[in-house]
Amino acid sequence: MQNETGNLVLTDETPAPGPAQFAVRALVALVFLAGVWYYADHLAVDNVGHIFLVVAALAGAYMAMNIGANDVANNVGPAVGSGAMTLGVAVVIAAIFEAAGALIAGGDVVSTIKDGIIDPSKLDTQVFIWMMMAALLGGAIWLNVATWMGAPVSTTHSIVGGVLGAGLAAGGAGIANWGSMGAIAASWVISPVMGGVIAAVLLFVIKHLIMYPEDMVKAARKVVPWIIALMAWAFVTYLMLKGVKKIFPVGFGTACLIGLVAAAIALFASRASIARVAGSMPNSREAVNNLFTIPLIFSAALLSFAHGANDVANAIGPLAAVTDAVLEGGVTDKAKIPLWVMLVGAIGISIGLILYGPRLIRTVGSEITELDKSRAFCIAMAAAITVIVASQLGLPVSSTHIALGGVFGVGFLREYLKTNYASQLHMILNNHSGEDRERIKAFLDNFKGSDLEDMKSLLLEAKMRKTEVPLTKAERKRLKKIYKHEMVKRHQFLKIAAAWVITVPVSASLGALLFFTMRGIFVQ
């Protein structure tokens, strides 16, 4: 459905897939799993670890699809919820850039998942294989259950918890790299806060530079091209450092200079394009918001690329470890990541997004706070910046936490601005008394129907007019209710926080349980 501004709103009334759609999706998923099984089965047909490689490949593919169904929705949810793009367009863009990020720049984070959480040298090859298989299956099972429940949990939490739980079951407390776990755990707290702060700051700047001036169109013509240029610089610089660097050496300074060239080109092109559009554009908030459509699409693509580079490790890290142990006959310090393993992660994420992503897109896009295009752009750009920094450092941070942190940051900023303006208005009106009740009623009705930004204008108007406004108890209650309206749904906040808290212990417990089960099956 659409809201009063024409933006797409995904609601609880969105029809659920029927039996035919469910069957088609299941068939596509099974075909993908069958293809992975066929390749892995023929890859190590003469190897003693043949069955383990096949099971690990299937578990990796299964995990990759769950990542696509859960995490990728966070990348495109704000764009779809704001009406900047349709769900179909968002899925195509995300699928392409997710796969590109995984294949071009996914290797660094894989090493952290493989041997940054536990010390594989303390396990013999057979036990290590069981441990990694149990971790992968435990994380995937929990993620599947959570996705089915509609809970936007972290896929990174799921696999890290699985590796930790299975590792502790296999080798005791001494096997865990607690220093690395501490850094990873810290990033889980820092990343949503960083995403929220960056998104809120970006939105605050956009409001003051574009939405608050009297001539919004003129302000947008000046500012939006620079926003696009900044985005182009970030994307190209990251691509140089994470992708091209693997082909020939590129230093940070060189990458930044190349990014600046791309930014200059983007600035020139977008300035001319926006000038043409702005020439016939009305001076309204909705019209100015439409200028963020193309930047929002590009930022969603950037976020998908960064997510593919960062979160593909959750599916293929344990798979790469098992593949290396089976084919090489032992646990090595530097495991090669075969192309087929990267493809399993990249294709699996895209398939999961296409088949099962819309449910979480609804939650992120419309069920936490109302999003327009400028707000959605701030969320996507903030999440992209945070994920890029994390991937550059090799930290397996949660894109779910980052994206949702951005959504909450934008929502809470809106609450702050509304409370700030309305409370100031309340104090000024409370200092006056007597005179015309009709004027009071008209003023309050105007206030109640105003947007957040218009409250500031009303406050200044009231101050200049020196209006005397005697507020009755009922009117005070109405005004208080207006500015205390929640712009972030608290029940969603609590639901998501609870899901985050239980993910690691649940996936760790599943990983440990599956390890003991495998050991019981294979040890006679």
Higher pLDDT, 251 or 366: 251
- Of 10-14, 309-313, 370-374, 414-418, which range is least confident? 10-14
Average pLDDT over residues 47-52: 68
What is the structure's pLDDT at 267? 92
In this structure, what are the phi and psi dihedrals at residue 520, rounded to the nearest 5 degrees?
Answer: -65, -35
Is the per-residue pLDDT at 241 higher than 80?
no
Tokens of 415: 């609450």
What is the structure's pLDDT at 182? 77
Tokens of 508: 């760790």
Average pLDDT over residues 86-92: 82
β-pair partners for 176: 118
What is the structure's pLDDT at 419? 66
- Of 227-236, 319-328, 366-375, 384-393, which range is least confident? 384-393
What is the structure's pLDDT at 506? 92
What is the structure's pLDDT at 437? 45
Question: Which of the residue ranges 11-20, 56-65, 420-429 has the most confident prediction, judged by mean pLDDT?
Answer: 56-65
Chain-centroid distance of CA 34 in Å reads 29
3-state secondary structure 442-501: HHHHHHHCCCHHHHHHHHHHHHHHCCCCCCCHHHHHHHHHHHCCCCCCHHHHHHHHHHHH
What SS3 state is found at 163? helix
CA pair distance 182, 167, nearest whole angstrom: 16
Average pLDDT over residues 301-315: 75
Higher pLDDT, 44 or 292: 292
CB 152 within 8 A of CB 360: yes
Is the per-residue pLDDT at 335 higher than 80?
no
Average per-residue pLDDT in the chain?
75
What is the structure's pLDDT at 30? 93
Q: Tell me, what DSSP letter sits at residue 207?
A: I
What SS3 state is found at 153? coil
**Amino acid symbol at 300:** A
Higher pLDDT, 520 or 267: 267
Higher pLDDT, 287 or 387: 287
Question: 250-294, pLDDT tens digit by residue?
Answer: 777 888 899 899 999 999 988 888 888 887 888 888 888 888 888
Its pTM surpasses 0.75: no
CA pair distance 54, 67, nearest whole angstrom: 20
What SS3 state is found at 118? strand
- Of 81-90, 200-209, 217-226, 237-246, which range is least confident? 237-246
Return the CA Rg of the chain. Answer: 26
To which residue do tokens 């599947």 refer?
A: 144
CA pair distance 63, 23, nearest whole angstrom: 20
What is the structure's pLDDT at 9? 41
Average pLDDT over residues 396-419: 77
Question: Which of the residue ranges 31-35, 148-152, 216-220 has the most confident prediction, judged by mean pLDDT?
Answer: 31-35
What is the structure's pLDDT at 106? 61
Number of neighbouring beta carbons within 10 Å of residue 143: 29
What is the structure's pLDDT at 312? 74
Average pLDDT over residues 3-10: 41
Q: Which of 403, 305, 385 is nearest to 350 (CA)?
A: 305
**pLDDT band with cut points at 50, 70 and 90 for residue 446:** low
Tokens of 337: 């990541």
- Of 85-89, 298-302, 333-337, which range is least confident? 333-337
Is the per-residue pLDDT at 5 higher than 50?
no
Is the per-residue pLDDT at 22 higher than 60?
yes
Chain-centroid distance of CA 195 in Å reads 9
3-state secondary structure 426-437: HHHHHCCCCCCH
Listed in order, strand segments (DSSP E) in 364-475 are: none
User: On the CB side of 346, how many CA atoms lie within 13 Å of its CA?
Assistant: 21
Higher pLDDT, 406 or 482: 406
Question: 133-147, pLDDT tens digit by residue?
Answer: 898 889 889 888 888
